[in-house]
Structure 1
Amino acid sequence: MGQSVLQVHWRRWALPALLLAIVIIIVAPLLLERSRLDSLERASELVDHTNKVYATANAIAFKLRDLEAATLAFHLGMDTPAIRSRMERDNALLPQRLAELAELTRDNPDQQNRVGRLTSSAEQRMALANQAMEATKAGDEETALRALSDVVMHFPIRDVVDEIAAAESALLEPRIAETDRQRGQLRDIGIGGTVVQLLLLGIIAVVLKRQISRLVMTEGKLEEARTHAGAILQSVRDPIALLNEEQELVLHNVAFEELYGECEEGVVLARVGSGAWDDPAMLQRLRDVAGRQRELWDHELRQTTADGQERVMLVNARPMKMPEQARPMVLLTVADISAQKAAAERVRELNRQLEGKVAQVSDVNRELEAFSYSVSHDLRAPLRHIAGFSDKLGRHLGENADEKSAHYLGVIGDAARRMASLIDDLLVYSRLGRNAMRLQAVDMQSLVDEVRAIHDHEERESSLHWKVQPLPVVVADENMMRQVWLNLIGNAIKYSSHRERIEISIECERQPDGAHRFCVRDNGAGFDMAYAGKLFGVFQRLHKASDFPGTGIGLASVRRVLGRHHGRIWAEAKPDEGAAFYFTLPANLEHDKHGAPHS
């Protein structure tokens, strides 16, 4: 048993292993040859580099001598266009040659020193040669002769050129030896690869002979495999049938017969199951599968099966090429999805009911917002009357008003102003829920700077210190985001106003899911986390109005804005140790500074 398993595994992996060996033996020598060719090319480049350095150094010496010879000829009276051209050309080419030599030897510090000496001497000799030429033009022969003499006596270059050449010659010998070694290795690799490839051809011949013998044995087992396939087909619980081009049953399993009743091979499909398949559109689709080589996927068909029940069937069909048939047949599979269809219909009905409930809730919300907006507007006129008549009454009484009357009038005025402020905030809160959002690229840094500027220009007894991290650009409603920063930063400053030094910190952090988390932190009064649930409710306050003025609507507005942006807000604090307000904007509102919104 163990030996037969090993044989099966060997037969399964023999051909892939052979192909892998072919690839390795063909590709490996190529890679080695490529590597050695690269090494040989690098060695050859080093040899060429040495020759180029040697040639450039000698060219510099030649050009200097040519310049000096032309200068001497000019001094001796040979003022011809050719002489002048030689001097101009040498003056132009020598700096280029010196720069080339410096570039060629920049990886060799010793050679760089020698090139520096050569450059210095060459520049001095060029300067003296040009000085001699100018003196000759001016008729100052003594200066010209002295300059030409200094060229030879004080600035020799032959020794430096010989040193550069000697150093390059010392490098040349090992480079030539390395080139010869690389050539030898490349030759050995070629010979070795050829021998291994010949050996591989022999192995391939042996393996192919064995494969042919196994193929003959496989043909004897084909009939047995067909029998096994038939048994498997009959055991499948889904109805399966094989049709020929005339839509006659060639083969079917037990499940097909159980569903459509007893049917013989060769019967036309339209007569199967007391006409269950007698549907012109369905039969035409099956003809297209056979004649046009199409496939039919998940086609729903209502049928009355052998048990008299109406079912919803999911039909799939595809052409199948059989070895003994010239024309392709049709493999037909059927699945009963009646239960799934009933469940899906029930889900759709529940969804329709849910949509109706959602619509009712939306209508109620709109009515509540309209009511709030209307009430807020209707309250303004009485408030104006109260505030106005209270002010008029105070002026009417003037100095005759006693202390208690003045106190009552002040209370009435303060209450009217507070009520007006509450109405204004309530209107803002109502608009935040009703107004359509205008999504655009919003630079959070600019909004924070704008709010900071408002508070920095206000006169304060306490010093205000900011710590603002770089903030991103997001896609949001700009006016709503401005309202968020106005409320959060304003609250941080208000509840820190009793400190001598107000410290406001604004941070942003990228979350693992791609969302941005912002934080506004202060060193103010803080609050007890046991009451944190009241923070974001309308008209909810955790401090006395006499200590910190406000209407209790700002944080509720912030929560409504962030809710419309699919974000959230929360806070962390300790009494008298400051507070930190966090809010998030999801990743699908992200926006880069140069493009459009993306998810």
Structure 2
Amino acid sequence: MAVSVAQDGFRLRLGLLAAAVILIVTVPFWLSRQETDRALASSEWVAHTSEVRSALNDLLYGIRDSEAVVYRYRLGLLDTLDRATIAQNRDSVLEGLQRVALLTRDDSNQQVRVGELRSMLQARLRLIDEAVVAIEAGDIAAADVAMITAVQEFPFRPLAESLLRDEEAKLQQREAAAASNVKRLDVINVVAMLLQLALLAVVLMLTERQLRHRLAAERASQQAIARAQAIFETAREPIALIDGQLDVVLHNDAFAEFYGLDEVARDQRVALADIAGNWFDSALLQRLSDVLGRDRELWDYELRQLNAEGAERVLLVNARRMRLPDSADRVALLTTGDVTALKRAEDDVRDLNRQLAGRVDQVTEVNRELEAFSYSVSHDLRAPLRHVGGFADKLRRHLGEDADEKTTHYLRVIGDSAARMAALIDDLLVYSRLGRGAMRLQPVDMQAVVEETRAIVSADLGERDVRWRIQPLPVVMGDENMMRAVWQNLMGNAVKYTARREVAEIEIGAARRDDGSHEFFIRDNGAGFDMTYADKLFGVFQRLHKASEYPGTGIGLASVRRILARHGGRIDAEAAPEAGATFRFTLPGNTTHS
């Protein structure tokens, strides 16, 4: 895209430069041609005026010469009257009139003068003829009258001079115009020269810029070629170019190192068949021929070959046809990847998978044993406990009022211990099921779960003053029954450990963390605990208070931790003795908002 835009810009600049060249060359030429034509026209008018002057002089000379012939004969200076000269002068005068009329045909005023001059000259020629006839007839007086009448009645010189003055005035104007044309022509030539010099400077500048760009492009091309060559040589995978005869026409250092071609020049042809290794695989050779002949591609063809040291390596061969910019021959880019280590790793993975399958079988067997154990606990242990508790109660009723205080105490301890052991068995079964039961992930409205749990734990509070502060809680993805168990344990503990407070204060809230997860907390003003023993808080059957002070089996917080772990969350606590406790737990961010 960028190359196309650059080419379009270059063509535009070239077109503008060509247009400028045409304008700078043709416009001055056209103006110079016009001024030259004007100068030539002025020169022609100068010659034209000279011709008019010459024609007038000729006709005036003809009249004067004819009259001079008559006067000389009249004065006796000639022996005979030269009629031939008079006739010749007549023709010259008439011819001169014709020439003057033709030369001044573009000027109507001059034509009027020429007409008047023609009338005068024809009249004088006629009087000259009359004088000649009178002289030949011997009538000298009539000849004198005719000559005097011609001079007095038909004075043509003022008219001829007026006509000539008008022509000379026009000549001066045309000479001034010609001088102006010459000056304009000089200006045009100077401007044209300056424009052509500027054009030459622009052409040189553009040529220099184009040359600089070309050199920069060549340098960039050479750098790109050098980078490609460096990449080609630095690549650790063996790379080669093969032709239609399956000869290697070019290879990199890794190829030479792998196949022991260190003494073979990179651009020296060598047949694949002459390279040590298994290049005689007929299927591989056929596929390489298809790559070159049918423009197909070869991907991850697995091949076992011997390297230069004779060690067997597992290779993945890839090939794709390509065209070299400086050659019309078809070649293919051949690359080989050494996956020996990967194959070994795959073998190790298969071995580990087999071992893992055995371990899974073992775990499955253990789970079956745990199921059997759980069944045994839930049935075989409960029955004796029911017997112990039941018979202790029967014995207490049987003795009735005959039982002394010590006997009554023993029976109560037996019943309480049986009940406690039954509770421990129930909690242990619940805890074991938490790690095995399938999770049903669905949107869980934590606000509704907490409100429901509060109603349940508040049912047995009696006259206790418990103040709840529950903030808005979000909707999360999780197992609803498990989330309910989490809140029942945490809220039940908060109610239990605030039993000695006149006013119990329990606060529940949530916040969104920067990583997108949700953090929930429950805070109370109860008995608290010593943080020195906080690592035992979430263990099974671990208690930080005496059972006589706060009843319980010590499995509730362990169950909470297991549930949150299965949801990808975690739980921790902060507390101080007699200063309350705060439990915080997190759930991942795959949640929706209420």
Shift in Å, 1:292: 4.4
What is the rounded CA distance, in whole Å, between the counterparts of 1:485 and 1:226 in structure 2? 66
What is the rounded CA distance, in whole Å, between the counterparts of 2:553 and 2:571 in structure 1? 19
Q: Residue in 2 aligned with 1:535?
A: 537
2:207 alignment partner AA: K
Asked if 2 retains the 8 angstrom alpha-carbon contact of 1:303 and 1:311, the reply is yes
| 2:338 maps to which of 329, 336, 339 | 336
Asked if 2 retains the 8 angstrom alpha-carbon contact of 1:369 and 1:434, the reply is no
Shift in Å, 1:215: 7.7
Q: Residue in 1 aligned with 2:495?
A: 493
Within a 5 Å distance, the mapping from 1:17-96 to structure 2 comes to none
Shift in Å, 1:413: 1.8
Shift in Å, 1:348: 5.0
Structure 2 counterpart SS, 1:539: coil
Asked if 2 retains the 8 angstrom alpha-carbon contact of 1:273 and 1:306, the reply is no
Shift in Å, 1:414: 1.6
Shift in Å, 1:331: 1.9
- Cα distance change on mapping 1:398 and 1:489 into 2, 3 Å: same
1:273 alignment partner AA: I
- Cα distance change on mapping 1:236 and 1:574 into 2, 3 Å: closer
Gaps of 5+ in 2: 14-198
Q: Residue in 2 aligned with 1:556?
A: 558
**Alignment pair present for 1:587 and 2:589:** yes
Q: Could you report, residue by residue, the CA deviation over 1:243-280 in whole angstroms, capped at 9, with x for unpaired residues?
A: 123322223345434433557955543x1325621223
2:448 alignment partner AA: S
**Alignment pair present for 1:388 and 2:428:** no
What is the rounded CA distance, in whole Å, between the counterparts of 1:433 and 1:355 in structure 2? 20
What is the rounded CA distance, in whole Å, between the counterparts of 1:439 and 1:229 in structure 2? 54
Q: Residue in 2 aligned with 1:322?
A: 324
Shift in Å, 1:223: 12
What is the rounded CA distance, in whole Å, between the counterparts of 2:365 and 2:206 in structure 1? 80
Q: Residue in 2 aligned with 1:429?
A: 431
Asked if 2 retains the 8 angstrom alpha-carbon contact of 1:462 and 1:499, the reply is no
Structure 1 counterpart SS, 2:410: helix
- Cα distance change on mapping 1:205 and 1:409 into 2, 3 Å: farther
Within a 5 Å distance, the mapping from 1:327-406 to structure 2 comes to 327-343=329-345, 345-346=347-348, 349-350=351-352, 352-353=354-355, 356-357=358-359, 360-361=362-363, 363-364=365-366, 367-368=369-370, 370-406=372-408
Asked if 1 retains the 8 angstrom alpha-carbon contact of 2:277 and 2:307, the reply is no
Which segment is superposed worse, 353-362 or 369-378? Answer: 353-362
Asked if 1 retains the 8 angstrom alpha-carbon contact of 2:377 and 2:425, the reply is no
Which segment is superposed worse, 465-474 or 363-372? Answer: 363-372
1:250 alignment partner AA: V
Which segment is superposed worse, 332-341 or 506-515? Answer: 332-341
Asked if 2 retains the 8 angstrom alpha-carbon contact of 1:289 and 1:295, the reply is yes
Structure 1 counterpart SS, 2:435: helix
Q: Residue in 2 aligned with 1:277?
A: 279
1:428 alignment partner AA: V
Structure 2 counterpart SS, 1:330: strand
Asked if 2 retains the 8 angstrom alpha-carbon contact of 1:442 and 1:477, the reply is yes
What is the rounded CA distance, in whole Å, between the counterparts of 1:451 and 1:377 in structure 2? 30
Shift in Å, 1:204: 9.9
- Cα distance change on mapping 1:272 and 1:512 into 2, 3 Å: farther
Within a 5 Å distance, the mapping from 1:232-251 to structure 2 comes to 238-251=237-250
Structure 2 counterpart SS, 1:514: coil
| 1:408 maps to which of 393, 407, 410 | 410
Bigger CA radius of gyration: 2
Asked if 2 retains the 8 angstrom alpha-carbon contact of 1:509 and 1:516, the reply is yes
2:470 alignment partner AA: V
1:303 alignment partner AA: Q
What is the rounded CA distance, in whole Å, between the counterparts of 1:315 and 1:386 in structure 2? 77
Structure 1 counterpart SS, 2:527: coil
Q: Residue in 1 aligned with 2:523?
A: 521
Shift in Å, 1:473: 1.2
Shift in Å, 1:516: 1.4
**Alignment pair present for 1:482 and 2:484:** yes
Asked if 1 retains the 8 angstrom alpha-carbon contact of 2:525 and 2:579, the reply is yes
Percentage identity across aligned positions? 58
- Cα distance change on mapping 1:364 and 1:248 into 2, 3 Å: same
Q: Residue in 2 aligned with 1:313?
A: 315
2:380 alignment partner AA: D
Asked if 2 retains the 8 angstrom alpha-carbon contact of 1:241 and 1:333, the reply is yes
Q: Residue in 2 aligned with 1:260?
A: 259
Shift in Å, 1:519: 0.9
- Cα distance change on mapping 1:293 and 1:424 into 2, 3 Å: same
- Cα distance change on mapping 1:279 and 1:212 into 2, 3 Å: farther
What is the rounded CA distance, in whole Å, between the counterparts of 1:380 and 1:230 in structure 2? 80
Shift in Å, 1:304: 2.4
Asked if 2 retains the 8 angstrom alpha-carbon contact of 1:373 and 1:430, the reply is no
- Cα distance change on mapping 1:330 and 1:437 into 2, 3 Å: same
What is the rounded CA distance, in whole Å, between the counterparts of 1:327 and 1:384 in structure 2? 95
What is the rounded CA distance, in whole Å, between the counterparts of 2:208 and 2:226 in structure 1? 27
TM-score by length of 2: 0.59
Q: Could you report, residue by residue, the CA deviation over 1:69-127 in whole angstroms, capped at 9, with x for unpaired residues?
A: xxxxxxxxxxxxxxxxxxxxxxxxxxxxxxxxxxxxxxxxxxxxxxxxxxxxxxxxxxx
1:316 alignment partner AA: N
Which segment is superposed worse, 357-366 or 226-235? Answer: 226-235
Count of residue pairs brought into register by the alignment: 399
Asked if 1 retains the 8 angstrom alpha-carbon contact of 2:259 and 2:277, the reply is no
Q: Could you report, residue by residue, the CA deviation over 1:364-409 in whole angstroms, capped at 9, with x for unpaired residues?
A: 3553454244223211111111122122222222222222222222
What is the rounded CA distance, in whole Å, between the counterparts of 1:587 and 1:401 in structure 2? 62
Structure 2 counterpart SS, 1:587: coil
Q: Could you report, residue by residue, the CA deviation over 1:185-225 in whole angstroms, capped at 9, with x for unpaired residues?
A: xxxxxxxxxxxxxxxx9999777534654588799999999
Asked if 2 retains the 8 angstrom alpha-carbon contact of 1:276 and 1:305, the reply is no
**Alignment pair present for 1:209 and 2:207:** yes
- Cα distance change on mapping 1:205 and 1:446 into 2, 3 Å: farther
Asked if 2 retains the 8 angstrom alpha-carbon contact of 1:469 and 1:508, the reply is yes
- Cα distance change on mapping 1:577 and 1:358 into 2, 3 Å: farther
- Cα distance change on mapping 1:229 and 1:379 into 2, 3 Å: closer
What is the rounded CA distance, in whole Å, between the counterparts of 1:385 and 1:334 in structure 2? 78
1:393 alignment partner AA: L
What is the rounded CA distance, in whole Å, between the counterparts of 1:204 and 1:352 in structure 2? 80
**Alignment pair present for 1:444 and 2:446:** yes
What is the rounded CA distance, in whole Å, between the counterparts of 1:230 and 1:536 in structure 2? 61
What is the rounded CA distance, in whole Å, between the counterparts of 2:481 and 2:233 in structure 1? 70
Gaps of 5+ in 1: 1-11, 23-200, 594-599
2:259 alignment partner AA: Y
1:538 alignment partner AA: V
